[in-house]
Structure 1
């Protein structure tokens, strides 16, 4: 059983605290995605687990064993980092084969292991090439293949698809979960791409400024982001955030958009009259007829086709901007006056002062950001 436990980890560089009392558990066979902006401490965390650097404080346990005194090469870890770290004097084949060679596997086993991952990552045609003859995408895939080839019980993957072209990146989002599941490895995967995080992670740990802000399944984090900042990070186009003050009405708490009341079911009395922020996912807003109940008047400012969807920028009566997303080919206004429909069931409410979540959307969303 290969579990990973980080207990109260602190890492500093001079006076800069990069990881601040961070604790994290990764279950056996789980793929945990570390997600967050650049500088959050994700790569430093991986290097600590790998044994490349040491923490100032805290414990790192792999399979329940404290690895403080175990050198990197003896921790049973497969690694693929952003800088490739390929051996320049070795072919792509030999680079990928290096963990198998270290275990003294037979020649046939080495060849079979290399070809298996090379075909999956679509680099079997460049196995005879040296790193200097490979594109950045091919170097990235070679480094990933090397990490996978030895079937290590613990995999650390630092944004391994960053330099891969868009088509292959999409394909690998589908293939990698199957490959990792087949290997049965425990995986810590770093990315700044929220779609990749949602596609690959059994759970996602959202990091910021050396701390874990929220951890949960992709659906948990999309449907109930812990605060405004996390809500902004998950979604394309980004969530609409508007300052509001909930009021009490005959049907319960409500807020106003373009002087139209939007009822928010299940609101605690404590939010009434309080400065809040309403969060509306663009895909949860639809264009509607003027005569429809609850229709909110807006002005269409611009429309942007984005392949599978069309994103429209509209303005409320007070000039506040709202993004509306609809599937490509769906009819909608191009300019001028229009009306939108907003369901209070799909709205988030955040405390304006703290940014913390008060109420999550009652209508769950899938990993693709569409209503389930």
Structure 2
């Protein structure tokens, strides 16, 4: 068993608190992604778990055992660092083999283990090279191979695909989940790439300023972001955010978009007359014919093809900009007047002052009404 638990962990550097009373549990065999901007505390958290640095407060448990005061070499943790941390005088093969050497593995077992993981990471042809002869991408994969080769019960990966090229990065997003599942390790994976986070994580912990802002499955984080900050971080193109002030009529609570009322379901009674923000994902909007019920009139400003999708910038009656995304090859208005419709299941409502998401998010009805 290799579950991981942090209890009320605090880490300070002089007057700066990098991790602030952070608690987190990662189940045995789970892959948890730590996602957030630079300076959020992600790498510091990994170094605490690895035993490279010590917490100022709190406890760290691995497999139910208190590891807080145990030296790094006794924790059974594998880690791939951001800065590679390769031994410059050793070949890639020898760097990768160091965990197996520490276990006193036989030469044949060491050779088989290194070659197997090197083949998977496509660095078999550079195993005889020293770090100075490797590209940054090859160094990154060598560090990742070293972390994987010993099959540690806990694996800490600090943005291991940062320096690889786009093609390999895409391939590794597909390969890594299977690789990690085969190893059976408990994984904590750091990234600033939301696509990588959603592709690799069983759960995602969104970090900011030393605390976890939201913890959930990739679908939960994307569809039910806890606040505007998180909603902006997930999605490309970014979510549309429009200031609104909900009103009430006989059918319920609504917000206005270009002479169309967007009715909301949920506990929104307290939002009437209150400053709020509605969030609309670009892919939740679609072009429709003018005669379509509840069609929202807009003006097309620009269109940008982005390989697999086309992003269109439109303006509402009141001049507010909205991005609409559709799959490449599908029809859509390219200029002039147009009409769009909202996929009600994906609309989000946030409090304007705090930025926190309010209640349910479903839009169930649209009809003609006041302008946005």
- Give, in whole Å, the separation in 2 of the partners of 1:235 and 1:106: 48
Matching residue of 2:235: 235
- State the secondary structure of the residue aligned to 1:164: coil
Matching residue of 2:367: none
- Give, in whole Å, the separation in 1 of the partners of 2:199 and 2:360: 22
Q: Deviations over 1:222-277 (max 9, x none)?
A: 11111111111111111100011111122221111112111223343112221111
Q: 1:122 to 1:196 in 2, by over 3 A?
A: same
Kept in 2: contact 1:264–1:345 (CA 8 A): no
Give the drift of 1:359: 3.5
Kept in 1: contact 2:4–2:26 (CA 8 A): yes
Q: Superposition pairs for residues 135-146 of structure 1, below 5 Å?
A: 135-146=135-146
Matching residue of 1:3: 3
Number of aligned residues: 363
Does residue 332 (structure 1) correspond to residue 343 (structure 2)? The answer is no
Kept in 1: contact 2:264–2:361 (CA 8 A): no
Matching residue of 2:185: 185
- State the secondary structure of the residue aligned to 1:358: coil
- Give, in whole Å, the separation in 2 of the partners of 1:276 and 1:4: 39
Kept in 1: contact 2:314–2:323 (CA 8 A): yes
Give the drift of 1:123: 0.5
- Give, in whole Å, the separation in 2 of the partners of 1:157 and 1:98: 17
Q: Deviations over 1:65-88 (max 9, x none)?
A: 111221111111101011000011
Give the drift of 1:336: 1.6
Does residue 115 (structure 1) correspond to residue 115 (structure 2)? The answer is yes
Give the drift of 1:344: 3.1
Give the drift of 1:330: 1.1
- Give, in whole Å, the separation in 2 of the partners of 1:75 and 1:272: 55
Matching residue of 1:167: 167
Kept in 2: contact 1:282–1:323 (CA 8 A): yes
- Give, in whole Å, the separation in 2 of the partners of 1:76 and 1:116: 21
Kept in 1: contact 2:266–2:361 (CA 8 A): no
- Give, in whole Å, the separation in 2 of the partners of 1:153 and 1:222: 29
Q: Can you give the 5+ residue segments of structure 2 that lack an aligned partner in the other structure?
A: 364-372
Q: 1:116 to 1:361 in 2, by over 3 A?
A: farther
- Give, in whole Å, the separation in 2 of the partners of 1:195 and 1:137: 19
Matching residue of 1:209: 209
Give the drift of 1:362: 4.2
- State the secondary structure of the residue aligned to 2:305: strand
- Give, in whole Å, the separation in 2 of the partners of 1:272 and 1:217: 31
Kept in 1: contact 2:223–2:346 (CA 8 A): no
Give the drift of 1:360: 4.5
Q: Superposition pairs for residues 222-301 of structure 1, below 5 Å?
A: 222-301=222-301
Kept in 2: contact 1:76–1:153 (CA 8 A): yes
**Deviation larger for 263-272 or 204-213:** 263-272
Kept in 2: contact 1:223–1:360 (CA 8 A): no
Q: Superposition pairs for residues 33-112 of structure 1, below 5 Å?
A: 33-112=33-112
- State the secondary structure of the residue aligned to 2:190: strand
Kept in 1: contact 2:294–2:341 (CA 8 A): yes
Matching residue of 1:369: none
Matching residue of 2:369: none
- Give, in whole Å, the separation in 1 of the partners of 2:198 and 2:33: 9
- Give, in whole Å, the separation in 2 of the partners of 1:143 and 1:362: 45
- Give, in whole Å, the separation in 1 of the partners of 2:136 and 2:192: 18
Does residue 22 (structure 1) correspond to residue 22 (structure 2)? The answer is yes
Kept in 2: contact 1:31–1:186 (CA 8 A): yes
- Give, in whole Å, the separation in 2 of the partners of 1:246 and 1:306: 34
- State the secondary structure of the residue aligned to 1:83: coil
- Give, in whole Å, the separation in 1 of the partners of 2:189 and 2:129: 27
**Deviation larger for 262-271 or 197-206:** 262-271
